[in-house]
Amino acid sequence: NLYTMIHASSKERCERVAQRISQKTGIREYKLLYTSQEFKKISPIYFEADPGA
């Protein structure tokens, strides 16, 4: 399996990009999955700040 993410301003543009990728790679079977809900993006916090600093 091969996965990729395509960013486009519309479904139609996304489909055109996917078709071009299909033509260039020879991969004829593919499925497009569209975002149904976007969550707020925040940077991860790996370590809490030292409260004594």
Domain presence at residue 50: no
Q: Give the dihedral sign, CA 43/46/51/53.
A: negative
The pTM of the full predicted model, rounded to 2 decimals, is 0.66
Does 31 fall in a domain? yes
Within-domain flag for 45: no
12 or 46: which carries more pLDDT confidence?
12
Q: Is residue 46 part of a domain?
A: no
Would residue 24 count as lying in a domain?
yes
- Structural domain tally of the chain? 1
Range of the domain at 6: 1-35
Q: Is 53 within the bounds of a domain? A: no
Question: Per-residue pLDDT tens for 1-41?
Answer: 889 999 999 999 999 999 999 999 999 999 999 988 888 88
Q: Which of 53, 18, 22 is nearest to 8 (CA)?
A: 18
Give the pLDDT confidence score for residue 1 in this predicted structure: 81
> Residue 49 domain-assigned?
no
Please check whether residue 21 lies inside any domain of the structure: yes
Residue-level pLDDT at 49: 79
